[in-house]
Chains A and B, each alone.
Chain A
Amino acid sequence: MEIKKLETLPEKVIIPLRQHRGAVCEPLVKKGDRVLIGQKIGGSAEYQSSAVHSSVCGEVIAIEEAAHPDGNKVMSVIIQPEDSNESVAFSACKDVKPDKLAEFIKESGIVEHYGMPTHTVLRPKGKKIDTVLINATSSEWIGGTFKTPDDYAFQMIDALKLLMKAAGAKKGAIVLRTDDKESIDAFEGIEVDKKKLKVAPLIGSRNVGYYFNEQNSDIVIVSQERIFGKKILNFFTYRVTGRKVKIGCDPTDAGVAVCGIRSAKALYDAVHEGTPFYDTVISVEGVSNKMEYLFVRIGTTFKDVIDSYGYTGEIGKIIANGVRTGVAQYTDQVPVTKGTTRISIQKPEEVIRGESIECIHCARCVDVCPVELIPSRLAVMADQGRFDECRQIHVENCIECGDCAAVCPSKIHILQLIRYAKDAIEMAYEDMPEKESSNLKLGCGCGGE
């Protein structure tokens, strides 16, 4: 896999002050200030937040609301870069104490690709984490700065140990994809604590718990088929650990922290080199015949990314984070953020224009659903506002992968209808008192203990 580096100096860099779920950061710089690479430009006292750093050296030209790839507008620091690599002094801090590590992660601005700040995943308030998983099933995030696959494997193991240390967890696992030969080869036979590890497949009831015992190790490497979707965490946790996360809860309630490769790598860099999270690798689809990988600084606009490939054709649609569930952008002046994984471009003739007709009950959606739902029925129920009936047929299990809508011959917007039902149910039950809700088996069954 070849990874290019974006060399040209962009005209401007837009760094949103909110690249995570949680509180918006306060800007720490003013208009006209000169900032350096790696300088902290946004921070918040709230726990549920993550620091933001400048990715370039230059002058702050504005602090204003700017478009964000999620489709909303967010207060952003706009920097005009200058041709200089001047950076703040990075110092490695290898001996951070476990209890300080969470604060360190927050200060380094490390955020999961699905939006949660990593330290809130590892140290959730009032919950205990005992297992840390690194989801490495999406190999397009690999690389950037890894020289060889072995280097990648070694750094991941190290990052996993750091994550476990930060979370205070005893066990950890790295989950690979079964058809990803490159990384399986890299991990095969790797030595951890003087024990050789094998990449073990997750089959049937053999989940990580079994392999912890079998390999007699606290760290295992397993492989499974790829799953994708917007809300895969609960399903992923179930598949890997066998722990069923209750409806309305997240994996941290079951004692599992799920991290991505990207944040693991960012943590490794932060600890070993002292660099905060300000650059990343994204994949670009549609600018050439194959998938392109690009190493960019956070804040680079989509326009600069597309222009760097010399793409001059007409663009019908720009999509952030994949064609299945991604958000179509109305402007190309949106920045790459910590949560951006892919930019897809469609030509005007590729843009689909379908008209929904009635459901013909062909059951294609049922056949493709990875979590055994009946999407067509959910869509009908949601359309008629019968949300309780949606709940009875487990609408919360939906991982929002969008497969059902993609295969529908009637072109029904199943994904949107399911999201609508989920949101409506969430709103209806959010102000339910906790005790009562656990008695009635509504809302989060964990009772927030």
Chain B
Amino acid sequence: MTYTISAPPHKKTKLDFKTLNYSKIIALLPLCLAAIYFFGIPALGIIVASVVSAVVTEFAIQTISKQKVRVADGHAAMIGLMLALLIPPEAPLWIAAFATFFAITVGKHVFGGIGSYIFNPVLVGWVFTRSAWSGFMTPASIPHIGQFSDLILEHGAGLMVGVSPILLIGGLYLIYKRYIDWRVPLSFFATMIVLPQALLFISGVMDLIHKGSLNPLMYMSQMFAVLSPSPELSYSMIGIVFFGILFLATDTATSPITKKGRIVYGITCGVLVFIYGYFANYVDGLLYGIFLANCVASFIEINTMPASYGTMSCAEKAYRRVMDKIPSSLKFEVVNNE
């Protein structure tokens, strides 16, 4: 009887790259259907043109460069689908086809393919077409959340991705399944909430200073202004921001791999998106913001490398320095290790 021999581990996860890509595509399908319902046939045309162009481009590149053809892993199709959602439905089909062609060639394969690209290919394709044909690529309207029903169906949506923020809930399921990481979305989202509220507080205080108010209680009362939602939030909590948080920022190759780094990266994304969005609009702001955050991702990564286990962090060292000076009889903590 013959037995297989191989190197350990002898049991591995069933999850593979293909599953990850297809699960993202499936998570985006409800949104696509809503977009087709909302914008009609042109939206379907954009999606089909974009996905077909992506798959054909990938197939062509891998054939020409004599690599193994791996179109079936769904990565190209996923890029195509995501990019289609960022193109206005009124745009001609060739824009969609060209944007994905550019995303796959320059965005993905020029940098070395899967796992090696430094900019999210979706954003590369979008940024290029946005700059080259800004007339076609400017959305007809910029949405904002007026009432609650806007979360379910947004009538002011200019892009397909904005039609229904609630349908992006598939992304949350992917986080629950650990198909996408939770650190980046959480810190990104938290930053997007905290910054507008902080701005509200700062502007309130600045107002008081301009008025020349000297009553400290007035300043104190501004603390409570933070609790009421800032008007900025209704502009930032739109479909494309959720899409960016759940699907664009979490792209694995363009985000740091260290635990701390992912949190820092999420905050960086949040800050950049907020600055862009505050001075311009959140649709362009989100995409440019994440694009810029991609630039610093590897810088964040190399600066957040974990130390060897058991090494004290800066905070712990400072705490130790203080605690070591206090006589042990005054302390409640554990000190007597032999």
Contact = CB atoms under 8 A, between A and B. Distances in A.
Interface string A239-278: 0001010000000000000000000000000000000000
Contact of A317 (B4, B12, B253): B4
B9 A376 contact: no
A230 to B, nearest CB: 9
A88 to B, nearest CB: 37
Contacts of B116: 358
Interface in B234-279: 252-253, 255, 257-259, 262
Contact of B1 (A332, A359, A406): A332
Contact of A244 (B5, B115, B257, B310): B310
Interface string B296-330: 00000000011111100000000000000000000
Contact of A212 (B11, B16, B20, B338): B338
B10 A328 contact: yes
A364 B336 CA distance: 38
Contacts of B307: 372, 394
A213 B7 CA distance: 45
Contact of A344 (B10, B12, B17, B20): B10
Contacts of A361: 115, 252-253, 255, 257
A326 B10 contact: yes
Q: Which range holds the interface residue count of chain B?
A: 35 or more
Contacts of B131: none
A371 B311 CA distance: 11
B4 A351 contact: yes
B114 interface: yes
Q: Is the interface of A mostly helix, strand, loop or mixed?
A: loop
Given A328-B4, A361-B257, A411 B12 contact: yes
Interface stretch (A5-13, A53-61, A89-97, A201-209): A201-209
A26 to B, nearest CB: 31
Interface string B177-192: 0100100000000000
B1 A352 contact: no
A449 B114 CA distance: 50
Interface residues of A, number: 63
B334 interface: yes
A367 interface: yes
Given A363-B262, A366-B258, A415 B8 contact: yes
Given A206-B334, A352-B11, A393-B305, A409 B6 contact: no
A368 to B, nearest CB: 10
Contact of A408 (B5, B6, B12, B19): B12
A377 interface: yes
A437 interface: no
A351 B5 CA distance: 10
Contact of A374 (B114, B115, B305, B310): B305
A204 B319 CA distance: 15
A405 B115 CA distance: 17
B338 to A, nearest CB: 4
Interface string A374-408: 10110000000000000001100100001001111
B187 to A, nearest CB: 14
A62 interface: no
A377 B305 CA distance: 10
A358 B16 CA distance: 12
B11 A316 contact: no
A111 interface: no
Nearest to A359: B115
A402 B9 contact: yes
A346 interface: yes
Contacts of A397: 308-309
12 contacts: A212-B338, A317-B4, A325-B8, A346-B10, A348-B4, A358-B116, A361-B257, A374-B258, A376-B257, A394-B308, A397-B309, A405-B8
Given A318-B3, A328-B5, A410-B115, 5 more contacts: A357-B17, A357-B70, A363-B257, A366-B259, A367-B259
